[in-house]
Amino acid sequence: HDRRRLSADEVLFRTGESGDIAFLIESGSVEIYLEHEDGAESIATLQSGDLFGEMALAGNHTRTACARAVADTELLVVTHELLNEQMARATPVLRHLLRVTLARSRDLLHRLQQSSTVDATPSARYSGSEHVDRELAVQRLRTEQALREALRDDGLQLHYQPIVDLASGTIAGFEALIRWYDPAGRPIPPSSFISIAEDSGLIVEIGHWIIDTATAALAQMGKVRSDAPPFCSINLSPWQFDDPQLFPSIRDALLRHALDPRRLRLEITESAAFGDPDAVRRLLDQCRALGCALLVDDFGTGYSSLSYLHRLPIDAIKLDRSFIDDLGESRGAAAIVRAITGLAADLGMYTVAEGIETEAQSAACARYGVHYGQGYHFSRGVPLGEALNLLRA
- 97-120 b/e with 16+ CB inside 10 Å = b? ebeeebeebbeebeebbeeeeeee
What is the number of other CB atoms lying within 10 angstroms of the CB of residue 230? Answer: 22
Q: Which residue is nearest to ligand C2E (CB)?
A: 375
- Outline where the chain has alpha helix (H): 54-58, 80-89, 92-114, 128-152, 190-200, 202-224, 246-256, 277-290, 308-311, 321-325, 331-346, 359-367, 384-392
Beta bridge partners of 234: 266
Nearer to ligand C2E, 12 or 319 (CB): 319
**Residue 235 is a binding residue for Ca ion (CB under 5 A):** yes
Which residues make up the interface to ligand C2E (CB under 6 A)? 161, 176-178, 189-191, 194, 210, 235, 237, 297-298, 321, 354-357, 374-376, 381
Name the binder of 189 from Ca ion, ligand C2E, none, CB < 5-8 A by kind.
ligand C2E
Least gap, CB of 356 to ligand C2E (angstroms): 6
Torsion of CA 130, 131, 135, 136, to 10 degrees: -30
Nearer to ligand C2E, 86 or 237 (CB): 237
- Outline where 225-271 has alpha helix (H): 246-256
Least gap, CB of 217 to ligand C2E (angstroms): 12
239 exposed, middle or buried (CB, 10 Å; 0-12, 13-18, 19+)? buried
Cα–Cα distances in angstroms (integers) from residue 5 to residues 28, 29, 55, in the given order:
10, 11, 21
Least gap, CB of 277 to ligand C2E (angstroms): 20
The type of residue at 308 is Y
Least gap, CB of 175 to Ca ion (angstroms): 6
Nearer to Ca ion, 113 or 322 (CB): 322
CA 157 to chain CA centroid, Å, is 14
Least gap, CB of 318 to Ca ion (angstroms): 5
- Distance (Å, rounded) from C-alpha 301 to C-alpha 239? 19
Nearer to Ca ion, 82 or 232 (CB): 232
> What mask, x for binding Ca ion by CB under 5 A, covers residues 252 to 291?
---------------x------------------------
**With contacts defined by CB under 5 A, how many residues of the chain interact with Ca ion?**
4
**Residue 298 is a binding residue for Ca ion (CB under 5 A):** yes
Least gap, CB of 272 to ligand C2E (angstroms): 11
- Distance (Å, rounded) from C-alpha 11 to C-alpha 159? 46
Nearer to ligand C2E, 25 or 295 (CB): 295
Write phi, then psi, for 364 (nearest 5 degrees).
Answer: -60, -45
Name the binder of 243 from Ca ion, ligand C2E, none, CB < 5-8 A by kind.
none
Q: Is 207 in contact with 158 (CB distance < 8 Å)?
A: no
Q: Is 287 in contact with 267 (CB distance < 8 Å)?
A: no
Name the binder of 171 from ligand C2E, Ca ion, none, CB < 5-8 A by kind.
none
Least gap, CB of 279 to ligand C2E (angstroms): 18
**Residue 297 is a binding residue for Ca ion (CB under 5 A):** yes
Name the binder of 194 from ligand C2E, Ca ion, none, CB < 5-8 A by kind.
ligand C2E
- Distance (Å, rounded) from C-alpha 228 to C-alpha 62? 62
Using CB under 5 A as the binding rule, the residues of this chain from 62 to 91 that contact Ca ion are none
Name the binder of 177 from ligand C2E, Ca ion, none, CB < 5-8 A by kind.
ligand C2E
Least gap, CB of 200 to ligand C2E (angstroms): 13
The type of residue at 198 is E
> What residues make contact with Ca ion under the rule CB under 5 A?
235, 267, 297-298
